[in-house]
Amino acid sequence: MNLNASAALSTLCIGESSVVRSSADFSWNGFIMERQLAAANMRINDHADHNMLALVSSPVMRGEHQTKSGTTLVRKTAGQVTVIPKGPVPEMRLVSEAELVYCSFDEQFIERIAEDIKNLRSDQLVFRSGLRDKSMHLLMQTLVAEFEDGNPTGRIYAETVAEALALRFLHLGAIVPIEVPARVSALPGNKLARVKDFVESSLDQDLTLESLAREAGYSRAHFLRMFRESTGTTPHQYVMQRRIAHAEKMLSENQLGVAEIAVACGFSSQAHLTLTFKKQTGVAPAEYRRTR
């Protein structure tokens, strides 16, 4: 289920604000990312319709909470993350302009991941404001970079990062510390072979984590961990390795242009192929062809 393009902000924010950019056009499944520019006096409503994360992008964000004892000033700086579970949240009014990035998850996306965590219910999460969490910040920045660049790496990469991000969201929002099983079983050999065959036959497609998990017969969260246990790599890393191997073969065996090979191997552009190829092999595609 894909979230509506304005789902992250439409019911949460009241007042002058604008969505600078949205990931709605990328067809990401189960989550959406938005960059928002909020004016002073914009109000954060007291109820969130989705499980969300908010990352402060501007150097400083200032706001105020109205409490029974008076007004409490709020100051957050770039890199701080707020965990916003679905349901009641503290109301806040901005007193300065601010730039924020929101990542909003649909309910099914979170529920699938929460099912694998013992004694955790997604409706028992708590609001946590202004966190400094290295793992969360790194994941958010990774997804933001992919988002800002127009998702050149493809949906499978964004979805893999989002799975890790949602798991961290649950860790930080849980009322008590949670534990995820340290080890999972590997994919059965026949299912791993089926997934690999599917990848080989679909390298020119925009593969998704969902499509690979469906081929194996598991949920995305289960498949992601089982595939890593089986291969030592994430599905995205494996797909990229196979695309580069296919590109190497095509560069050696035919005279198609690099741009045509990029399309045939599932890269978003010649530039994306060149960057990834050089990172994995140490040489650019044209140079690789000259040496063969």
| CATH number of 18's domain | 2.60.120.10
Could you tell me the pTM of the whole model?
0.84
**pLDDT 10s digits, 3-45:** 443 455 556 778 787 888 888 888 888 899 989 898 998 888 8
Structure tokens at 18: 């604008």
Read off the CATH number of the domain in which 258 is found: 1.10.10.60
What pLDDT was estimated at residue 72? 87
N-term to C-term CA, the chain? 46
How many folded domains does the chain comprise? 3
Mark whether 142 and 259 lie in a shared domain. Answer: no
Asked whether residue 121 falls in the same domain as residue 244, the answer is no
Does residue 180 form part of some domain? Answer: no
Mean pLDDT of the chain: 87
Shared-domain flag, residues 55 and 161: yes
Give me 265's structure tokens: 């191997």
Tell me: do 154 and 193 sit in the same domain: no
Task: Print the domain residue range for 205.
Answer: 189-232
167 shares a domain with 202:
no
- Would you place residue 111 in the very low, low, confident or very high pLDDT band (cuts 50, 70, 90)? confident
Q: Shortest CA distance to 227 belongs to which of 180, 185, 285, 166?
A: 185
**227 & 254 share domain:** no
Q: Please indicate, yes or no, if residue 179 is contained in any of the structural domains.
A: no
161 and 265 part of one domain: no
Treating both helix axes as pointing N-terminal to C-terminal, what angle do 235-253 and 155-173 enclose, rounded to 10 degrees?
160
Which ranges constitute the DSSP H helices of 107-188?
107-114, 134-148, 155-173
